[in-house]
Amino acid sequence: MKKINALTVLFYLLMVAQAIQSQNIAQWRGINRDGNYAEQNLLKVWPEAGPKLLWSTEILGSGFASPVISGDKIYINGGKDSTSYLFAFDLKGNLLWKSPNGPEYAGKDYGSNFPGARSAPTVYNDLIYVTSGIGRIACFDAATGKEKWAVNMISDLGGKANYFGYSESLFVDEKQVYCFPGGSETNVAALDKYTGKVVWTSKALGDQVSYSSPLMIQLPQRNILVTLSREYLLALDAKNGNLLWSFKEDSVKQEGTYCNTPIYDGGFIYDVSGVEKGSGAYKLELASDGMSVKEIWKNSRIKNSFGGFVKVQDQLFCASKDNKLKSLDTNTGLVVDSISNLRGSVIFADNQLYCYSDNGNMALIRPTGAKMELVSKFKVEKGTKEHFSNPVITNGVLYIRHGNALMAYEIK
């Protein structure tokens, strides 16, 4: 009997692995949206001038959107001549096509200092899903760039954009596209991935949209969509949009300008947010049925509006508002190490941290247990405006977007 059970389990695991391999998914901050990239044999030290620049292009226009790499193509959003575009490049930086997605965010008053594309595309098999900064969701053919369908979150779904526009990188599964219009009635919605038709809408808490991208947690009883509104971390049943629970963020300033995606690992949810006040970094225990959460710890001294964070074993690494890259013990929430003069986007690959700082420095950091060592760094010289994008690592290449420029560095 034990032999039969073992064979059954093995068959199931093989079927799951085959199903995963048959799905070509590329999205915001990696396959699990957690900033961890499954790369090996990367450079442990960079040359003084930085790793070799393979190629660069400066045709993206304005924006901060990160690229995604799917197979032999690179997809990235940009804003040119007040229009949102989805660009497709080959792995040598040659433009294959670009497709318009309506007007792009231009902003007003202070917001006009930060025009352009915000969100990363999501690739699922042969389709690409994008949203402009003013809320036009569109589905494109990955090979040709032909638009399949489009929905406007404001005019079609009754949404309400935040001060700096929509920045959500859409989550897509085998049937649906999930989005956060932010309206008082249609707060969150699920769309049919092939037609754009509404599957369900949820009032949720009726709270305004933030700039975060959602996370899907798959549990035996249900799948739950976890996202951030202006003031709350909240979870919805992915099947019907029913609100399961909410957790008060209390981090509001300038329309809730935090953009981080929560991380789920081992039954716990981690998040880092906050500008001047609020929750900061925290750890929640998720009930096995997904119906509730319990606070484990909170460190309100860690302030991180955007740039992301990564979890590596029992450490949480993130850059904080006080211009330091910090290591937190995930069991206690206490800071155990820090490196000064580093604040920006953080990802992890091959036992190394990569921090793209908002001063334009790209840093390579080696964590050893709780401790961190700055190994190498170089200055990103190309591009325009702020260094806000999240870097991406695929097939031994480090991709950095800086305003109108996309650069590819060899790090293998």
The three state secondary structure string of the chain is CHHHHHHHHHHHHHHHHHHHHHCCEECCCCCCCCCEECCCCCCCCCCCCCCEEEEEECCCCEECCCCEEECCEEEEEEEECCEEEEEEEECCCCEEEEEEEEECCCCCHHHHHCCCECCCCEEECCEEEEECCCCEEEEEECCCCCEEEEEECCCCCCCCCCCCCCCCCCEECCCEEEECCCCCCCCEEEEECCCCCEEEEECCCCCCECCCCCEEEECCCCEEEEEEECCEEEEEECCCCCEEEEEECCCCCCCCCCCCCCEEECCEEEEECCCCCCCCEEEEEECCCCCCEEEEEEECCCCCCCCCEEEECCEEEEEECCCEEEEEECCCCCEEEEEECCCEEEEEECCEEEEEECCCEEEEEEEECCEEEEEEEEECCCCCCCCCCCCEEECCEEEEEECCEEEEEECC
Three-state SS letters, 27-67 = CCCCCCCCCEECCCCCCCCCCCCCCEEEEEECCCCEECCCC
List, for residues 19-56, the tens digit of each pLDDT value. Answer: 444 458 999 999 999 999 999 999 999 999 999 999 99
pLDDT reported for residue 21 = 42
9 domain residue, yes or no: no
Look up the CATH number of the domain holding residue 86: 2.130.10.10
Domains of the chain: total: 1
Q: Which two tokens stand for residue 382?
A: 């190309």
**Residue 234 domain boundaries:** 25-410
pLDDT value at 370 more than 90: no
pTM of the predicted structure, to 2 decimals: 0.92
190 domain residue, yes or no: yes
C-alpha dist (Å) from residue 381 to 243, 341, 346: 46, 18, 19
pLDDT value at 293 more than 80: yes
Q: What is the mean pLDDT of residues 408-412?
A: 98
pLDDT value at 9 more than 50: no
pLDDT reported for residue 369 = 80
pLDDT reported for residue 231 = 86
Close Cβ partners of 132 (under 8 Å, ≥ 6 residues apart): 77, 84, 101, 102, 103, 104, 105, 117, 138, 166
pLDDT reported for residue 257 = 63
Confidence of residue 249 (pLDDT cuts 50, 70, 90): confident
pLDDT reported for residue 210 = 87
Confidence of residue 279 (pLDDT cuts 50, 70, 90): confident
List, for residues 70-112, the tens digit of each pLDDT value. Answer: 999 999 999 999 999 999 999 999 999 999 999 999 999 999 9
List, for residues 131-167, the tens digit of each pLDDT value. Answer: 999 999 999 999 999 999 999 999 999 999 888 999 9
370 domain residue, yes or no: yes
Contact 290, 219 (CB under 8 A): yes
Confidence of residue 13 (pLDDT cuts 50, 70, 90): very low
Name the residue with higher pLDDT: 274 or 372. Answer: 372
76 domain residue, yes or no: yes
Q: Nearest to residue 87, comparing CAs of 105, 112, 106, 62?
A: 62
pLDDT reported for residue 1 = 37
Q: What is the mean pLDDT of the chain?
A: 91
Q: What is the mean pLDDT of residues 383-396?
A: 96
2 domain residue, yes or no: no
317 domain residue, yes or no: yes
Q: What is the mean pLDDT of residues 182-196?
A: 97
Q: Please give the share of the chain, as a percent, with pLDDT higher than 70.
A: 91
61 domain residue, yes or no: yes
Q: What is the mean pLDDT of residues 240-261?
A: 78
Contact 69, 399 (CB under 8 A): yes
What span, in angstroms and rounded, lies between the C-alpha atoms of 118 and 129? 14
Name the residue with higher pLDDT: 278 or 296. Answer: 296
pLDDT reported for residue 79 = 96
